[in-house]
């Protein structure tokens, strides 16, 4: 989420009642072959930021000012609201596991956990009472981790059997290379992904465009040495980790950077960027049934009850203007997470040991990729 948006979210929460009765939207108008619509219209005035893969091929999308979450079928565009509006709540980043939605609460300082089928509260956890912006969440095997873009710390919410959250969270101060400045108006840690069975966390910093490797046990951070492209990731927002391929959404730049990481996650090469004619300040991405989906937050566009918002299917064959306009610096299709044989061998070893993160939770068939849970959960 951009700095401009963070500074206006509190005001948006006050005005959220005006959006409470907005109906769900229809399927996107731009059709794209057998994979479903190229774009999927969200309810007018929705103001999305986070997207997550769910069960049975579904996607979940949150609403920043109202805290609502809807579930949609990306093949048909059909959708329904599963988490209704609640006073004083917000929905920024979100993840799904074992029938539960884990939601970063932005300026509320809270983490919210909902039943993904009924929308009822599973937990409302106060992460901090300080002024804060709880921006994103990732799911490790035994914990949910949240970033705070204002305070130099992460929050660990321990998880029990089938993802049952604890009632309190543990703040973990960030030390080392990932350093916040003294200006409370700047925007710091943003997207986060768990790796190596939850022992390592990858975090992007919006202010510097840096990517950092954080020791989950200590909070010690080291900068990931990046080469290729610009050597940094300006406007970094949500991230998606698949094996050793990291996707970084660069919101205001309307692109997704693809980073190939070393085995120890200490080095990375920006191998290409993905663009799309339909991007309009995308913030987060999720993979569902082999397809990447990005959500357009449209930061900088006046948010009204009539403002249109969309989910974009990334990797469709043609752009709105009838020409290919998505991939730069690599062969078409590489953005779908295709890896070399050496990566496959390393990832198989990591999966046997609960190793590499597969979409943000460190488990094989992770929620972010939309596999596994779709066969188990409702």
**At 75, phi and psi to the nearest 5?**
-80, -30
- In this predicted structure, what is the pLDDT of residue 317? 37
CB 6 within 8 A of CB 186: no
Pairwise CA distance, residues 11 & 118, whole Å: 28
Write out the two tokens for 19: 């959006």
No. of helices (H) and no. of strands (E), the chain: 3, 27
- In this predicted structure, what is the pLDDT of residue 230? 86
Which mean pLDDT values do the consecutive 10-residue runs of the chain (378 residues) have? 46 38 44 73 98 98 98 96 96 98 98 98 97 97 98 98 95 98 90 98 97 98 96 97 98 98 98 97 97 97 97 65 38 36 35 34 36 36
- In this predicted structure, what is the pLDDT of residue 18? 35
Pairwise CA distance, residues 156 & 24, whole Å: 34
DSSP code at position 344: H
The H or E element that residue 135 is part of is strand 134-139
Pairwise CA distance, residues 301 & 1, whole Å: 14
Pairwise CA distance, residues 213 & 194, whole Å: 10
Q: What is the dihedral of CA 168, 169, 170, 172, to 10 degrees?
A: -160
- In this predicted structure, what is the pLDDT of residue 183? 87
CATH-assigned architecture of domain 3-376: 6 Propeller (2.120)
Pairwise CA distance, residues 205 & 197, whole Å: 22
**Strand, coil or helix: what is 346?**
helix
- The 3-class secondary structure across 224-274, one letter per residue, is CEEECCCCCCCCEEEEEEECCEEEEEEHHHCEEEEEEECCCCCEEEEEEEE
Among 270, 252, 253, CA closest to 261:
270
- In this predicted structure, what is the pLDDT of residue 185? 81
What CA–CA distances, in Å, run from 156 to 143, 188, 198, 320?
6, 18, 11, 42
* Residue whose structure tokens are 């709540």: 89
DSSP code at position 22: P
End-to-end CA distance of the chain: 30
The H or E element that residue 96 is part of is strand 94-97
- In this predicted structure, what is the pLDDT of residue 34? 52
Pairwise CA distance, residues 348 & 359, whole Å: 15
Helix boundaries (H) for the chain: 3-14, 341-352, 373-376
Pairwise CA distance, residues 104 & 89, whole Å: 10
- In this predicted structure, what is the pLDDT of residue 49? 98
Pairwise CA distance, residues 278 & 57, whole Å: 22
- In this predicted structure, what is the pLDDT of residue 29? 41
Q: Give the other-Cβ count within 10 Å of 117's Cβ.
A: 14
């Amino acid at each position: 989420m951009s700095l401009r948006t963070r500074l206006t979210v509190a005001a948006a929460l006050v005005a959220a009642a005006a959006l409470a009765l907005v109906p769900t939207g229809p399927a996107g108008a731009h059709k794209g072959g057998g994979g479903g619509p190229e774009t999927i219209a969200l309810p007018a005035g929705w103001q999305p930021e986070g997207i997550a893969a769910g069960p049975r091929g579904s996607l979940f999308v949150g609403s920043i000012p109202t805290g609502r979450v809807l579930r949609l079928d990306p093949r048909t565009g059909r959708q329904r609201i599963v988490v209704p509006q609640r006073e004083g709540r917000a929905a920024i980043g979100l993840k799904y596991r074992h029938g539960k939605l884990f939601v970063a609460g932005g300026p509320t300082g809270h983490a919210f956990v909902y039943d993904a089928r009924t929308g009822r509260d599973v937990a409302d956890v106060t992460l901090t009472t300080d002024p804060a912006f709880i921006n994103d969440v990732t799911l490790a095997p035994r914990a949910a981790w949240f970033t705070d873009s204002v305070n130099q710390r992460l929050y660990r919410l321990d998880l029990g059997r089938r993802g049952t959250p604890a009632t309190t969270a543990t703040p973990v101060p960030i030390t080392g290379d990932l350093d916040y400045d003294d200006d409370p108006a700047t925007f710091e840690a943003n997207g986060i992904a768990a790796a190596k069975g939850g022992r390592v966390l990858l975090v992007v910093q919006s202010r510097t465009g840096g990517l950092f490797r954080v020791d989950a046990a200590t909070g010690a951070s080291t900068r990931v040495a990046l080469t290729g492209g610009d050597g940094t990731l300006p406007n970094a927002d949500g991230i998606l980790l698949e094996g050793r391929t990291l996707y970084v959404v660069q919101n205001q730049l309307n692109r997704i950077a693809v980073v190939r990481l070393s085995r120890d996650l200490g080095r990375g090469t920006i191998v290409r960027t993905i663009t799309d004619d339909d991007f309009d300040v995308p913030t987060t991405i999720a993979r569902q049934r082999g397809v990447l989906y990005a959500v357009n937050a449209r930061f900088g566009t006046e948010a009204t009850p009539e403002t249109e918002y969309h989910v974009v299917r990334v990797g469709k064959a043609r752009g709105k203007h009838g020409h290919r306009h998505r991939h730069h610096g690599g062969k078409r299709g590489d953005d779908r997470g295709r890896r070399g044989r050496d990566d496959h061998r390393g990832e198989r070893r990591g999966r046997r040991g609960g190793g590499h993160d597969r979409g943000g939770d460190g488990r094989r068939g992770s929620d972010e990729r939309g596999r596994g849970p779709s066969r188990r959960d409702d």
